[in-house]
Amino acid sequence: MGFDFYRINRFGRWEKYYYIQLKGAFLSAIHHQIIQNQLDTETITVSYEFILCQHLIANTEFSYLALPENYNRLFLPNSKNQTNNRFKTLNSKAIGRLLAAGGVYNGNIEGFRDTAEKLGGRCNKRL
């Protein structure tokens, strides 16, 4: 369950400024209060296992997992599909070349040259 909170900024435009996300949430109670000459109020009580609060303007956030033993039930792993599997295979020769290039760029030439050669990449002997 996710909740977006909006406000009117100083320029008179609506902006989203706060976000709350609940996982494992259910309604506990709903209370109505009607008093003459006052605004009517409604209070909704929610129980949850995980909450994430983000202040979008200040770029801060807070999260809390109420029941760590239920973590696996709350956060299910992504299902594997064929399109993602092709990106998981790493070519050691290509990685060796990348490490060699990174070593030259970062100044750690010897360490990266050794690693690149062990992984099957070729390095210029001048390095």
pTM to 2 decimals?
0.43
Domain with CATH 2.30.110.20 in the chain: 2-77
All residues at 6 or more sequence positions from 114 whose CB lies less than 8 Å from its CB, including other chains: none
| pLDDT digits (tens), the chain, 127 positions | 888 999 898 899 999 989 989 888 888 889 999 999 999 999 988 888 888 889 888 888 877 766 555 555 555 555 555 555 555 555 556 665 565 555 554 556 566 666 666 666 555 555 4
Between CA 76 and CA 68 the distance in angstroms is 14
Domain 2-77 sits in which CATH superfamily? Hcp1-like (2.30.110.20)
Between CA 7 and CA 57 the distance in angstroms is 11
Cross-strand bridge partners of residue 65: 50
**CB atoms closer than 10 angstroms to residue 116:** 25
